[in-house]
Each structure stands twice: as C-alpha cells, then as structure tokens.
Amino acid sequence: MSSSISRRLIFWLAVPLMLVALCGALVHYLNHVAPAMISSDLRLKEATNALMSRTQVANGRWSVDTQADGRPAVPGAESAVYALRDAQGSLLLGDSRLPLVPLGPETNQLFAMSQLDRRYLRTLSTRFATAAGTVILTVADTASAAEPAARLGLMSTLLWDFVQLDITLVLVWVGIQLGLRPVRRLRDEIAERSPQDLRAIDESSVPREIAPVVVTLNRLFTLLRASVQSQQQFISNTAHQLRTPITGMQAQLELLIAEPAAQPVKNRLLTLQEGIRQLAHASNQLLTLARADPAANIAARKQSVDLNAIIGEVTARFFDRALQANIDLGVDAQPEPVPVKADPSLLDDLLSNLVDNALKYTPAGGSVTLSAGMRDGAPYLAVEDTGPGIPAEERQRVRQRFYRMANSPGHGSGLGLAIVDEIARIHEASLAIGAGADGAGTRICVQFP
C-alpha cells in the first residue's frame, strides 16, 4: 500500500524537531542544573570532611570541636545543617528535622534529596567508624535550595519544548493539508471524469510542482485520442471493405438463382446464399462488437436520445422478418418521451441485437414485445419474447463471447448478448436477464443510470 506524503513530511519533521528539543534540554541542563549540582556536591563533601574530622565523643557525649586550629572549619547554619546518628538511627548530635537517609550494607556514602521545613535540599550521608562505634553523618546544603527550582525549570523547559513541538507539528500538518488542496482538486477532477472524457487538463490552474504530471497526463490523453480515432477509422474502413463485396455476392447469387439455367443447382445455390447471409451477419456482429469495445469508445459522443424513437426505428427494420416468421412483433409504447444520454448508433446496435436474438429463438406463432419507460426515476429498455427462455444457471454465461447454449436452434455466432453487454457497460447501464410473463420466455432489460 502506498504511503502518504503528509505522513512522510510529518515524520521527517518530527524526528529532527524532537532531537532539537532534546538538545535544547541538554544545553539547559548543562548551563543551569549541572553547575549547581557540582557546586553543591563540592560544598557537601567539604562540610562532611570538616564535621568528620571535628566530631568527638567524651563520656558518652558527642560534640563538634569548633576551635580554629588549621583544620577545615565547620560550616555555619546558613550554609549547611547536619545530623549525626548511630547505626540504629538514634540522633546523637545535630538537627533532628533532617531525616535519616538509609544506607545499604555496601554503600558508605550517598547523595540524595531530603525535605527540610517544606524545602528540598541536597544531602550527603556518610557512614564512618569512631571510637564509640559506627555512626552516620547526614549533611544538607542549605545553599542548594535553588537546585530543585533549577530541576523544575529544566522539566518545565523540556515540557514546554515538547508542547511547542506538538503545536508546530499540528500547524505543519494543517499547512500540508492546505498545500495539497490543488493535488486533491486534480485527483477529484480526474476521478469524476468518465472513461470517454479525454479533454486536456488546464495546466494554468495547477502548482508548478505538479505541472509536469499534468503535462504528462495531457500527452497521454492526446495519444489515447489519436489511438481511438485510428481504431475507429480502421473499423469503419473494415466495415466498408467487408460489406461491399458481401452485398455484391448476395445480389449476384439472387440473380443467378433466378436464371433458368441455374435450376439444376438451385438447392446448392440456396445453401451458398444462406452461408453468405450468415457470413454477412457474423461480420456485422464482429464489427459491432469491435465498435462496442470500451477501448474503441473512450471518446464516444453521447447525446440525448429518445428510447421510443429508437424502438420505432428498429421495429420497422425487423417487421418484414417477423412477418415472414409468423411472429407478432409489437411495441409497448409510452405516451411521453423516454430520454437517455447515449450514443445513438450504439444504442441502435444494442436493441437490434436483442430483437435479432428474440426473433431467432421465438417459434412461429409467438410474440416479441419491445418497451421503454421510467423506473425509479431511471430510463430502461426491455425486449420480451415467448421463446424457450434462458435457464437461471445460464444467464451469466450467455453474456460471454461466442457462447451458445446446448441444443440452441439456428446458426448464431454467440455474439448478440456479448455485444449488448459491452454497449450497456459503455453507458454505465445494468443488463438483467430474466423470465418473461408467467415465467415463460425471456425478458432482457437494460436499466440506464
């Protein structure tokens, strides 16, 4: 399945923008949070070393030596507070508000964040041995009270960067959708066209980025129009070249059969005449099928046609044949016109093939009825006969080219309904094959859109 241009653009924008946001957060961390943490850790280590060196115990009482004797000075309460506890966690010396930070058996020193009077301070807890046993010293850097604010600032910056990233991507997505509107309009214009519409697309109304595509499409449409015209010209020339000699042969045979000298071979001449008639009919059907092919009718011109008028013309053409076969050829006429957008010549071929089939398979004394009208707001054309009918399981197969049902009478070529089906498709009409009145015979209906 093809991927979306919009999704690709969003992906290739989202990844770099996300990396830029992370780099910005890293820079903020290195410039604001990391220096404060390093400075705080250094102060905590200095204060811890000073307190460890000055902590003493005498007669079970713990104290801190504050004499100026060259050793590191004990930090003041304004910069650090501390708490000295024994191994069981009991306070020995210092500020009881400072919570105990648990140390694991393998950990003797640990940095942590502890809460003191609703403030979060960075602390350093150290386990060390004294003459009175192992104690734990926790020192909090009160000068690092700005560190949580710096961390909060980092998280706020990171959050805002990603909010900006989301907003940017939404705006980019909207911009892409607006920018792709000309492409969608071009897509809709082409999609709404029928296969017969090969007009060139207006190149001035498309952006320059997709203009080469439109130019290529117009070139393709031009080639298709030329190909269709060439094919139609070939069909027209072929029809002329076939019909002229066949018609001449039929005329010569009729004259020959009428000659007294031809009476001994009259039966053979009649057989030959029937064969030529079938040849003429088959060639006409093949040419009609070629004309009905969608590839040859891409540029077919449709116009408003009255189905009642087409019925009248076709009925008049087949009246003598029906009369000779003792078949009642009738019309179920409508008082008002039944207009449809169609190619008149193809519509004539469609109805002629339906009537030809109906007369061919209807026995003497039967009837063939042509009708047209409106059903559910759509025009339809129907031919009903009293012939043997088409079994339900055969109704789809009879649409295939050169297919004839078993035990079919006559010498048909199996192209009649194939031609009808092709012409119906060209006009986007539906072809329905069913039973006639009272379940006898066949009724074929072409429903136009």
Could you confirm whether domain 5-58+70-154 is CATH 2.40.160?
A: no
Task: Report domain extents, the chain.
Answer: 5-58+70-154, 236-295, 301-447
> What is the phi/psi pair of residue 59, to 5°?
55, 40
Record the tokens describing residue 240, joined without a space: 């002329």
Record the tokens describing residue 221, joined without a space: 């449409």
| 3-class DSSP assignment, residue 356 | helix
The CATH architecture assigned to 301-447 reads 2-Layer Sandwich (3.30)
Per-residue pLDDT of the chain (449 residues; tens, 9 = 90+): 456 777 777 777 778 878 887 787 777 666 766 677 777 788 888 888 888 888 888 777 888 777 766 677 777 766 788 888 888 888 888 888 888 888 888 888 888 888 777 777 888 899 888 878 888 888 888 875 555 555 666 677 777 777 887 888 888 888 888 877 888 888 888 888 766 677 788 877 777 878 888 888 888 888 887 777 776 666 666 666 666 777 777 788 788 888 887 788 878 888 887 777 777 766 666 666 666 665 555 445 678 888 888 888 888 888 888 888 898 888 887 778 888 888 888 888 888 888 888 888 888 888 898 888 888 888 888 888 888 888 878 777 777 766 666 666 555 566 677 778 888 887 788 888 888 877 788 888 988 88
176 burial (CB, 10 Å; 0-12 / 13-18 / 19+) is: middle
Contact 373, 341 (CB under 8 A): no
Contact 77, 124 (CB under 8 A): no
Distance of CA 55 to the CA centre of its chain: 78
Return the pLDDT at 1. 45
User: 240-274 b/e with 16+ CB inside 10 Å = b?
Assistant: eebeeebeeeeeebeeeeeeeeeeeeeeebeeebe
**Cβ count within 10 A of residue 206:** 19
Return the pLDDT at 294. 59
| Residue 310 Cα distances to 210, 339, 433, angstroms | 46, 11, 21
Contacts of residue 311, Cβ cutoff 8 Å, sequence gap at least 6? 331, 333, 351, 370, 371, 372, 381
CA contacts within 13 A on the Cβ side of 187: 5
Contact 231, 300 (CB under 8 A): no
User: 47-75 b/e with 16+ CB inside 10 Å = b?
Assistant: bbebbbebbebeeeebeeeeeeeeeeebb
CA distance 352 to 368: 13
Radius of gyration, CA atoms only, the chain: 49
